[in-house]
Amino acid sequence: MRSHIRLVSALLLAVMLALVVAGGSALARSSANARSSAAKARNFKVLVGKDLEAGKGNSADAMRFLPSRIRVHRGDSITFTGEFHTATALPVGTKPGPWINSHARHFGQTYFFLAADDEPHTTIFNPRVIYPKGCSRSGSCTYNGKSLVNSGLLGLVTPKTTMKINAAPGSSFWVICLVHPQMQMHVRVVRASTHIRTQAQINASVKRLVRRATANATALWSKLNHQHSHTTPSGKRVIDAYAGFDTKHLELFGMFPKVLNIHKGQTVEWHFNQIRFEPHSVVFPAKTAQQISTGPPPMCEKNNGSGDVPANQNFTCPAGSHGPIEIELDPRILQQGGNGQLTSTTDYENSGARGGFDIPNHKPYFLTFPVSSPKGGFRYACGVHGLMMSGFVKVR
Ligand SMILES: [Cu+2]
């Protein structure tokens, strides 16, 4: 799913740079004004998730709002930036747990990330999740506490969203990510006379948290690279592997261990119950996994009704066509394929997407390797995330 992001990563980088520049000067201003005028509206910057490098070239994500709680005055605004997340403010008085269970927990619910297309057997990213609600496409909105406000998919549909907070002092509310609803942020609107943290103080604590998360992700990554096996009740030795690994606030985008060394005829068991956020899969060969993860291009409908055309790289529709742009999934993302035995470098074997928040199937996937591999091993990857999550099975 993340592969779509690359289309706009250059654009996003430009926006982020602009933000850093703007943020720096706003910061200086706000701390200078902090004592003189408590009533002056401030803008706060919040990261929705944060890419981390868990050792060289190892991709991980801090799965949380940074900061995850904030106090603001009425009239202040919050700017949310992120990649492949949403910032979705629930009405005042709405508890996230029950709201998620009834609106964003299961296929078919209004705000569940995946949805059925009008074409049969087609799954798309839910337009209600990926498009803004109560916000403009350029990302500005006002939150009044009465109705839900959704940024849309940050980093793809909109680079950032600035919400002006107009809820009454004394109220509080939750902001969640609809793609990963375990990501939740609490916002308290306090009286103008009540002291609140400055952006500089927020930045300092976010920086500490990111440093700690990076260290944890790096340590976990290298620990998971050790190979383990177990013996079944019938006395068979099975090799343990993990397609992705999550902790409460971390997502590791890797296959663990990266290289499996096994003997001819042995079976590998890939576990999926350690995944909390996004589903993953095991797909042989790796090239096919990459194709599946890329999926069909996002599509716009032709104005004359004669079918669809691919959207532009910046997620707009070409002349003569219109949105809303649909992002379809390759059907092979969800479907298990193959016969459970990998017999050549071109043999197609696919666990289908498992685990995470969206997919109820968290069962392990078993694959047996009856023939020896080429020297470098059989290469596989994740059909959801592509080659950024790949591994090798060396069979001798
Ligand atoms: Cu994956």
Find the 389 Cα to ligand 1 centroid distance in Å: 6
Q: What is the pLDDT of residues 228-246, one digit of tens each?
A: 999 999 999 999 999 999 9
Tell me: pLDDT of 27 over 70.
Answer: no
Find the 384 Cα to ligand 1 centroid distance in Å: 5
Residues 261 and 211 in one domain: no
Cβ-based burial of 62 (10 A; exposed 0-12, middle 13-18, buried ≥19): buried
**Using CA atoms, how far apart are residues 367 and 270, in angstroms rounded to an integer?**
8
pLDDT at 363: 97
Find the 196 Cα to ligand 1 centroid distance in Å: 39
Residues 119 and 91 in one domain: yes
pLDDT at 24: 40
pTM: 0.87
* Residue 55 per-residue DSSP state: S
Residues near ion ligand 1 (CB < 5 Å) are 280, 382, 384-385, 389
**Using CA atoms, how far apart are residues 268 and 365, in angstroms rounded to an integer?**
8
pLDDT at 138: 86
Domain count, the chain: 2
Residue 17 tokens read as: 């740079």
Range of the domain at 229: 225-295+330-395
**Using CA atoms, how far apart are residues 328 and 330, in angstroms rounded to an integer?**
7
Find the 44 Cα to ligand 1 centroid distance in Å: 32
Residues 193 and 236 in one domain: no
Residues 51 and 135 in one domain: yes
Residues 193 and 232 in one domain: no
Q: What is the pLDDT of residues 123-149, one digit of tens each?
A: 999 999 999 999 987 899 999 999 999
Tell me: pLDDT of 35 over 80.
Answer: no
Find the 208 Cα to ligand 1 centroid distance in Å: 28
Residues 196 and 240 in one domain: no
Residue 306: pLDDT band (50, 70, 90) is confident
Using an 8 Å Cβ cutoff, are 23 and 42 in contact? no
Find the 148 Cα to ligand 1 centroid distance in Å: 30
Residues 252 and 360 in one domain: yes
Residue 29: pLDDT band (50, 70, 90) is very low
Segment 47-52 shows an average pLDDT of 97
Q: Which amino acid is at 110?
A: T
Find the 78 Cα to ligand 1 centroid distance in Å: 31
Residues 137 and 47 in one domain: yes
Residues 175 and 287 in one domain: no
Q: What is the pLDDT of residues 242-300, one digit of tens each?
A: 999 999 999 999 999 999 999 999 999 999 999 999 999 999 999 999 999 999 999 99
Residues 391 and 365 in one domain: yes
Percentage of the chain surpassing pLDDT 70? 90
Find the 325 Cα to ligand 1 centroid distance in Å: 24
Residue 340: CATH number of its domain: 2.60.40.420
Q: What is the pLDDT of residues 190-211, one digit of tens each?
A: 999 999 999 999 999 999 999 9
Residues 230 and 207 in one domain: no
